[in-house]
Amino acid sequence: METIIIDGLSFGLPLFIMAIGGIYSERSGIINLAIEGLQGFGAFFGSLSIILVGHFFDIPLQKLFYLALLLSMFGGMLFSTLHGLLCIKFKANQVISGVVINILSMALTIFLTTQINSIVFGAMSDKFRIGTSNRFTIEFLAKIPIVGAAFKNIYPFQVVILIIAVFAAYVLNKTRFGLRLRACGDNPHSVDAAGVEVSRIQYLAVMISGALSGLGGISFAYSISTNFSPAIYMGYGYLAIAALIFGNWKVLPTFGACLLFGFARSGGYYIAQLLKMPSTFSDLIMILPYVLTLLLLIFFSKANHPPRALGEIYDKGKR
């Protein structure tokens, strides 16, 4: 049981922070299917940066952990501006823009990773090895039966994610900026009538989405694969989108959905190990989060209430 909780949290929390980014974007009226690509590019940017810094300045990669988180957020934010430009400035179809960015991110990062490894490090590889992150345990809380497992073998990024998630939820629900952002997704003309530039709010929302997706991406790189590789693009961004839809574009229910997906994944992995299944069948069990996603969307999607102006291209002259 402890293993399921520990592994479930290490998977569910990066998913959660990406889903919050999706909430920011979609509550502002911009559909963001590009989360998958943003988390991949963010992880690529952060991994590449610390690999180069560590290589040229002879610094151990473990000491660059927090720098990797910060630069991954910057990389995701930088790449998200492309989605913002296409959807807001050029008024492109938001769904198509997201899909194209996902494809572009995968192709671009894998190509660049291979080329940089070949030219700079003289190695034929499509991975940046960033190593594993140190874990820690909060001893006095870890002694609590069952629940105490949540305080064992904690990755530092889990604490960072929780702090940012609380702050992001506060900004979205309790500040003037959050009120304007939510109004952009429901009635952008009212925001414009109040003298606030809708496109500026939407750009900021998409960039926040990119930054949080980048943080989720590097967290997966540290916890699941210990490197940046094509394995980053495993549908985690789409799981985050499913979680925010199931959570009705609200932070707390989305958190519950992400934990559900995380525990489904870790539970499936534990069952596969317990039954000593061959790799073929263990891989089949690992699709549990995706099957669960389909079932949840089938049974609960009718009760969802997306932002009223979600996906609509804002026209200032239209009433």
pLDDT tens per residue, range 59-103: 999 899 999 999 999 999 999 999 999 999 999 999 999 999 999
Residue 100 corresponds to which tokens in the numbers above? 């194209």
Q: Is 122 left (phi over 0), alpha (psi -120 to 50) or beta?
A: left
**pLDDT at 309 > cutoff 90:** yes
Helix %, strand %, coil % of the chain (to 5): 75, 0, 25
Do the domain assignments include residue 283? yes
Do the domain assignments include residue 312? no
Do the domain assignments include residue 309? no
Do the domain assignments include residue 95? yes
**pLDDT at 301 > cutoff 80:** no
Output 146 or 161, whichever has higher pLDDT: 161
Name the residue range of residue 51's domain: 2-303
Do the domain assignments include residue 319? no
Q: How confident is the model over 172-209, as pLDDT tens digits? A: 999 999 999 999 999 999 999 999 999 999 999 999 99
- Position 279 confidence tier, pLDDT thresholds 50, 70, 90: low
Predicted local distance difference test score (pLDDT) of residue 9: 95
Domain CATH number, residue 83: 1.10.3470
Mean pLDDT of the chain, nearest integer: 91
Q: How confident is the model over 230-246, as pLDDT tens digits? A: 889 989 999 999 999 99
Do the domain assignments include residue 33? yes
pTM of the predicted structure, to 2 decimals: 0.95
Domain count, the chain: 1
- Position 282 confidence tier, pLDDT thresholds 50, 70, 90: low
Q: What is the crossing angle of helices 94-120 and 65-84, to 10°?
A: 140
Do the domain assignments include residue 316? no
The alpha carbon dihedral of 79, 104, 295, 26 has a sign of: positive
Do the domain assignments include residue 236? yes
pLDDT over 70 for what percent of the chain? Answer: 97
**pLDDT at 292 > cutoff 90:** no
pLDDT over 90 for what percent of the chain? Answer: 73
Predicted local distance difference test score (pLDDT) of residue 161: 98
Residue 260 corresponds to which tokens in the numbers above? 């559900």
